[in-house]
Every structure is written in structure tokens, then in C-alpha cells.
A and B are shown apart, each in its own frame.
Chain A
Amino acid sequence: MTEPSELQLSEAPPGGLTRQGSLWGDAWRELRRKPRFVISAAIILVVLLMAVVPSLFTSVDPNFADLDHSRALPSGDAWFGYDLQGRNLFARTVYGTRASLIVGVTSALLTVLIGSVIGIVAGYYGKWLDSLLSRFGDIFAGMPFVLGAIVILTTLNAPTSNPSQTRIIVQVVLSIAVLSWPVAMRIMRSATLVAKQLDYVKAARGLGASPFRIIFRHLLPNTLAPVMVYATIAVGAFIGAEATLAFLGIGLRPPVVSWGVMISDSSNYVRTVPHMLLFPAAFVTITVLAFVMLGDAVRDALDPKSR
């Protein structure tokens, strides 16, 4: 017991109700018990497998067209039916996973990378640099997402031009990241501002540790959690964004197969051939749901208050 130097008893918390262990260790133990986490992780694993080895799920060529089957409804042969040109929708949906996932994951990585670097610099150095970077972020945050993407993507590719597949994927990823990084920056900035006030970080600064060392040794471990949660949810959101951009005719285009491209194919025939929209849209929704749920579960697990 500490020495009570004044006229009072110790105000130490009673033992027994406290828990030991690190933040991440606790979070992991917490997560394994949550159905929300288990379900979303399982869905993501299946989707990942589809993206890596689509041939495991179907032996049909996604681009093989047989006009005899045009618009055929789902059946035992083709679970999801056929599209206008008589292509097997199940095969296309399975093969479309890869492009959709690549767009979602790379845009999330890029967004978080740009946002975190700017956010941690703004939060750590503060003062005028913080104001400057924050206003710079506001400029991009002030642009409505869909509108900004339309302007960027149509300027880069005239509607009549025929750019290469990789070029379009890169452009879509870049426009998503350019328009979304301020969100990651704000999260990182406020987490840094909090972490900067921690006593041992103050001590390290007082002892003259280099900014580089402080940021990597002391700040990053404390600020990573909220950004990781955002990144997980962002993967889902950006898969949805890919679909939206494709729907507007400015995202990925054939011959690339992605869920967005399939949705874009269907948009003029929604009322007559609804299953063309239904299946890729369902895959988008379920995948987005899985990532959002995963991010949600991780956030709850990392937040001691919610226990």
C-alpha cells in the first residue's frame, strides 16, 4: 500500500474487477467469441478464395457467350441464369470477384496510407502546418464523392476513348483515394493529438528523442487501432464505390469482369432481366456487409467501454 501522506485512505481500485493483458490480446479473445466476427471473417475468406482461384468454384469461361441462352432464368445448370449475350452469370460473378476486391483493397490501402502520413504529421507538428494540412484536406472533403469521381474520370478518359484495362483500374483506385484520404487523415490526426498527450510520449519528447523515433515507436502503436478499423470498413465501402462508378459508366469497363461491370451491363435491362442485376448486387452487398461488420466488431473489441 502506498504511503498515505495526508489525512486520507488510499483510493486504489479494489482488486478482482480488473483484467490483465494487452489491448490487442484482449480484443482477439473478445472477437473469437463474437458471432458477428466469425461470420464476417468466414465470408471474407470465401470471397478471397474466389478472387485467388475462381476455377475452384466454376469451370465455365465467364466470357463464353451462347445467344441460345440469352436472358435464361436461373436453373440447375446455371445457378444465376444467363445474361443478354448468353454468358453464364454465376461464372461471371465468381470471376468478377478479383477485380472488385483489387479495387476495394488497393484503394483502401492507398487512402489509409496517404491519410495516415498527412494526419500524423499534422497532429504531431501542429501549429501552422496542422492548419495548412487540415484546410488542404477540407478541399478534397468538400468535393462530393460521386461528382468528384465523375469529373476526374471523364476528364482523364474522354467518353469515346478506349483506355487499357490496367489504366482504368489505376485511375479508379486513384480517384477513390484522392477523394477519400481526408477521412483517414482526420482519424489519424485526432488519434495522434490524444497520443501526444500521453505522459511517456511527452517524456520522450522532453528527453529529445527524434520526431521519427517518437512517431514510429510511440505514436503509431497508439494510433493504429482506429485507422485499421476505418481501413476495414473502407474496403467494403470502396467495393460499393467501384460498383457505383461502373453503374454510372465511368468505372471499370468490359472486357474486365467485375461486379460493377456486370451491374453496369444490367442497368438498361433491370425491369426485363432483373436477375442480371440481382446476383452481382447481392455479392457486392454481402461482401460490403462482411467488411463493415468486421470493422464494427473490431472497433467494439478494441473499445474497453463497450465490454
Chain B
Amino acid sequence: MGRYILRRFLQLIPVFFGTTFIIYTLVWAIPTDPFAGKCGQRPCPASYIEVMRAKFNLGDPLIVQYFKYLGRLLTGDFGETFAGLSVGKLISTAYPVTVRLALIAVLIEAVIGIGAGVLTGLRNKGFLDNLVLVSTLFLISLPVFVTGFVLQIVLGVQWHLISPTVSRAATFGELIVPGFVLGSLSMAYVARLTRTSIAENRHADFVRTAIAKGQPTKRVVGIHLLRNSVIPVLTLLGTDLGALMGGAIVTEGVFNINGIGGQIFRGIQDKEGVLVTGIVTLLVLVYLLASLLVDLLYAVLDPRIRYD
């Protein structure tokens, strides 16, 4: 098990460097002037540009810049924006909101998705099965912002059940509907994967053995069938946690949530490279750690992997 986890961990390292380097290159190396428009209508004074170039190591070759940046990141220093604001501080105000949103989304995905999948996977073709199949297809086809706008207008503007926009505090209660919107697509995938997984394992030999042993139906389903069937579903959920944080931008836009989506946009608009690279690096890190966690979980749940 230790070796398996170590191997997966070592595989993540080049991926981390690769992804962050590409982003760094895209943000810093594309030959547009980062100082255009920074000083009002006039071009920036040469002295200012010089100070800034030194501050952001723009004189070094790209690869050196990148590693200098990463080195500082390792000590927890995210750097400063051109205006001298601490990027670390900016991120720390926005990040918890997005993390909360993504957690709610994953929770909703897991509860509703697995629930619907188990329910339909255990039955043969029928009304409920068709209902879930059609509604998941529909959810998969709806762009996230459409789901968002529709719920916002119907629940927020017409029925006044929720506030159409989320306050700065972004409490758990306020984030439930946005979380549902964010998780809706993956929820549909979770439901379908669970359904297929259950339906396949339902006729597996080991399930038949459990029945032939005289185990009660509840135990056959709850212990033998479910344990084997949720393994691929958990993989999907784990990888999704990382992906959702990056995908939260659209949902945050619709509901006016002060998460990292808005900051990324502002960062790109204002050419705040330090801010953009900081946020993206953090997101990539979360994504990779989540997939490592999934591997760990996989090894715990499936002994065949643990001992290979």
C-alpha cells in the first residue's frame, strides 16, 4: 500500500510542475506589455517599469522566473499585485467561500446522485428508472449558467424563496442553491455511474453467494453490493472536488458570489499575473491532492489494489 501511494505521489510531481509552468508561461511570457494602461492614459514612467521588472524578475529567463516564483510560494509567500496588495490576503478572503461552495456541491452530488443511482440500479426497467434516466440526460445537457439563471429567477425573483444574489458573508444556507447548480452536472453523472455500477454488480457472483449464504436482503445490498459499487463513484466524486473549484467561476458569476472566480476575472482583466498564477497554482494543487486522496481511498476500499 505504501509503495502504491508513493508511486501515485511521485507521478503527481511532474504533473504539478507541468500544469503550473504552462499557466505561468501563458500569463507572463505572451508578448503583450504588462504595463499598458497601468498608469492612466499616459505610458508608465521608465523608472516605475524598471522597479516593477526587478520586483517580478521579468529580466530573468522564463524558467528562472518560474522557479523563483515557486520557491517563494513554498515559503507561503504568494507575492504582491502591481499595486502592492498581498495576493495571499486576497486569496484567503475568497478561497474559503469557493471551498464552501464546492463542498456543498459535492455533498449534494453524493447524496442525491448516489441515492438516485442506487434506487434505480436495484430495480428493473420501469417508470422510476426512466424518470431518472431522462432527468439526468436533461441535467447533463443544460449549461450550468442556464440552470443557475432559471433557479435564480424562479426561486429568487418570482417566488422569493431565496435571495437572488449571495451576500459577502456567503453562509452555508445561502450557498445551497448555488451549490446545487454547481453540482448538478456531476450529480447526473454520479447517478448514472452508480446506477450502472449497481446494475452490473447486482448479478455478480459474489452477490449471488451472499444470497445463497442466507444473508438478509438488507445486508446483501447494504454491505456486499454497495461496498463494491461505490468504489468507482467515489473516484468520480473525489476528482470532481478539484474540478468544481475551477468550474465555480460560472456559478459565482450568476449568483454574484465573492469567490475566486471573480478574482480570477479581475486578475486577468487588470493583467495581475501574480494573482492569476497564485490562484491557478492553488487550484491545481487542490485538484492533485484530491486525486491523491482518491487513490488512497481506493486502496482502502479495494484490497486488490493495496496488495498489487
Q: Is the CB of B268 within 8 A of A296?
A: no
Q: Is B283 an interface residue (CB 8 A)?
A: yes
Residues of A with C-beta under 8 A to B269: 159
**In the complex, A150 Cα to B11 Cα: how many Å?**
27
Q: A138 touches which one: B15, B149, B276, B280 (CB < 8 A)? A: B15
Chain B binding surface SS class: helix
Q: Is B124 an interface residue (CB 8 A)?
A: no
**In the complex, A288 Cα to B147 Cα: how many Å?**
14
Q: B246 touches which one: A144, A240, A248 (CB < 8 A)? A: A144
Q: Is the CB of A271 within 8 A of B153?
A: yes
Q: Is B247 an interface residue (CB 8 A)?
A: yes
Q: Is the CB of B138 within 8 A of A248?
A: no
Stretch at the interface among B16-24, B62-70, B75-83, B111-119: B16-24
Using a CB-CB cutoff of 8 Å, which residues 168-217 of chain A contact chain B?
none
Binding site for B on A (CB under 8 A): 135-136, 138-140, 142-148, 150-152, 154-156, 158-159, 236, 240, 243-244, 247-248, 263, 267, 270-271, 274, 277, 281, 284-286, 288-289, 292-293, 296, 305
Binding site for A on B (CB under 8 A): 11, 14-16, 18-19, 22-23, 26-27, 30, 32, 137-138, 140-146, 149, 152-153, 157, 164, 200, 242-243, 245-247, 249-250, 253, 264-265, 268-269, 276, 280, 283-284, 287-288
**In the complex, A244 Cα to B26 Cα: how many Å?**
21
**In the complex, A274 Cα to B156 Cα: how many Å?**
14
Q: Is the CB of B250 within 8 A of A135?
A: no
With A139-B18, A151-B26, A271-B157 as known contacts, state yes or no: A281 contacts B143, CB within 8 Å.
yes
Q: Is the CB of B15 within 8 A of A154?
A: no
Residues of A with C-beta under 8 A to B152: 270
**In the complex, A243 Cα to B140 Cα: how many Å?**
14
- 29 A-B residue contacts at CB 8 Å? A135-B18, A138-B15, A139-B15, A139-B18, A139-B19, A139-B22, A143-B19, A144-B242, A144-B245, A144-B246, A145-B247, A147-B280, A150-B249, A150-B265, A150-B268, A151-B27, A151-B280, A154-B268, A159-B268, A240-B141, A244-B144, A244-B250, A263-B145, A284-B146, A285-B143, A285-B146, A288-B140, A289-B137, A289-B140
